[in-house]
Amino acid sequence: MNKSSCPRVNFDFTGRFLPPVYIIVFIVGLVANGWGLKSLLQKWKKLGNINVFVLNLGLADILYLLTLPFLVVYHFMKSKWIFGDAFCKITRFCFNLNLYGSIGFLTCISVYRYLAIVHPMRVMGRITVTHSVVISVMVWLLVSVQSLPDVFYTKTYGNKPGKCYETTHKRYVESYLKYSLGWTLTGFCIPFLITLGCYGHVIVVLCRTNTTHKVLKQRSLKLLFILILLFSVCYIPYHVLKNLNLWSRVLSKQKICAEWSNGVYIAHQISRGLVCLNGALNPLVYLHGNENFLASTRQLLQQAHQTFSRVFFSNSGSVPVPQTADEAEHEL
């Protein structure tokens, strides 16, 4: 660190990197979550305890995905926000609800899995769908309370179209860094440790118990892999780099130049793209935990394959040979 001329931060990188990521996540996430929620709602009466959390996970994703088109316009206009201060705050608030709501509901799923596998006799018949609904409401309330202080920080600056800050203006960056560190601890670190502890214990129990069903072991290991993927790709880099970037801004405000500030800024922008991927990756929980979703996915692929075959044979002038369901399934 020094007080000489500071290296220029490459702010242009954000406008080139984030819009394509937002567009891809918006399309893939909206289709995957919409399809998954439709599958869950069709079987509402058969909704299990964990599927209540999966349903809320999908709702949190869609809430955030609907704000992405406005962020794409913002970056295409070279970081000029034209939708007003209130909507800027709503957009950032929805992002935080999605991020910390997703972490909260994934933690709930982990705890339920832990109780069902490690303490099945103690919880049998004692945990109902009503309990899951009440816990879900508490998660929404807790995440809202954690995210509410962020709304009171300045997100736009001036009356003219300008920035829609992810965090806040440099005038308030010292205060925001303290808030962000506390938020990271309560909203990310503690749930992450709970999730890690639950699945660590589950894997130990499953490996030690020879009578455990093979399918149960496989399902638990797959879900553990999905959660590790989500936390490693989406959540850990974002929280580490967000706070490092805020620290570099504090140093810059104090006229202390950090040679790593530009690298941290670019890495943080990449982590912003990665963290929004959770809206497209969370449906992996549907694929893992919902057999109806898997069946409907398989059926749709089969129908698409048959439609493609009909079009191909009609264009070639040949008459398609009717396939049995078993044959079509085999080809898939």
pLDDT digits (tens, 9 = 90+) for 251-264: 988 888 878 888 99
- Report yes or no on 102 lying in a domain: yes
Domain range for 257 is 12-289
Q: What is the structure's pLDDT at 332?
A: 27
| pTM (whole model) above 0.75 | yes
pLDDT digit string, tens, across residues 148-207? 999 999 998 765 678 899 999 989 999 999 999 999 999 999 999 999 898 888 878 877
- What gap in Å lies between CA 70 and CA 164, rounded to an integer? 11
- Residue 57 and residue 290 in contact, taking contact as beta carbons nearer than 8 Å: no
- Report yes or no on 314 lying in a domain: no
- Report yes or no on 68 lying in a domain: yes
- Report yes or no on 200 lying in a domain: yes
CATH code of the domain covering residue 41: 1.20.1070.10
Helix, strand, coil % in the chain, rounded to nearest 5: 75, 0, 20
- Report yes or no on 2 lying in a domain: no
- Report yes or no on 204 lying in a domain: yes
What are the angstrom distances between the C-alpha of 225 and each of 65, 83, 220? 24, 40, 9
- Report yes or no on 146 lying in a domain: yes
- Report yes or no on 306 lying in a domain: no
Please tell me the total count of domains within the chain: 1
